[in-house]
Amino acid sequence: MPRSSLPPPPPPPHSRMWPDRAALLADRGRVLQELHRCSIGLQRVLLLWLLALSAIIGWALLVVPLQQFEERDPLRFLLGPVFTLLGLAALSPSVITLGHAIRRDHLIRQLLDAWLELDSDPATDAGLRSPGLSLFWFLSSVVLCVTGLWVSFASVIGADPDRARHSDVALDMGIGTILWLTGLIGVVKAVRHYRWAVRALGPAPRPGAR
């Protein structure tokens, strides 16, 4: 996710060319809305879930050679390396993209703060709080965390030492861990957005308050 896909920072004071405050606020509002969309928009939720799905597929492919070994599949020496490469091809991009996304989020917060410092526009700034969207991030991520923990513990607790295959336990543990980590990332993002909104925009006004 290159930096060029994000709006630029505000120009330095000596090179600002806005004809009046209205023009400044208009540009400021457009940039803030775009940065807000890039930070916590629904497309970011979908991207996180797609990365998790890709990681799950990659892990499942990596476990296939272990399943073949336990089943004494005669093709395990031929197909095992193929499934390993396919698994790494599906898992590695998810990890790399997630690392880029984390660094990009840090840059977005810096840009948001820089544009907010230009001026104040309560009508525009109030939309940056997005309490409903932040709550969706939080609740959906909590569900993923709980599901991941349940899958991980159930695979260990419910495994029969005499009959369960190590590959099945490894598969369930890996899927559960990926779901738990995905949910944890979402929870952290929702909490960070809330803390940023309180720090940068102040506490949300109470209903009916003027």
Name the region of 130 (left: φ>0; alpha: ψ -120 to 50; beta: rest): left
pLDDT in tens, 21-80: 999 999 999 999 999 999 999 999 999 999 999 999 999 999 988 888 877 777 777 888
What is the length of the chain? Answer: 210
Q: Where are the beta strands (DSSP E) in 54-201?
A: none
pLDDT in tens, 118-133: 888 888 888 898 889 9
Give the model's pLDDT for residue 159.
Answer: 59
Q: Whole-angstrom Cα distance, residue 48 to residue 186?
A: 8
Q: How many CB atoms lie within 10 A of CB 140?
A: 18
Confidence of residue 208 (pLDDT cuts 50, 70, 90): low
Give the model's pLDDT for residue 13.
Answer: 82
Decide if 27 contacts 127 (C-beta within 8 A): no
Does pLDDT of 145 surpass 50? yes
Confidence of residue 204 (pLDDT cuts 50, 70, 90): low
Does pLDDT of 207 surpass 80? no
pLDDT in tens, 155-200: 777 656 655 577 788 889 999 999 999 999 999 999 999 999 888 8
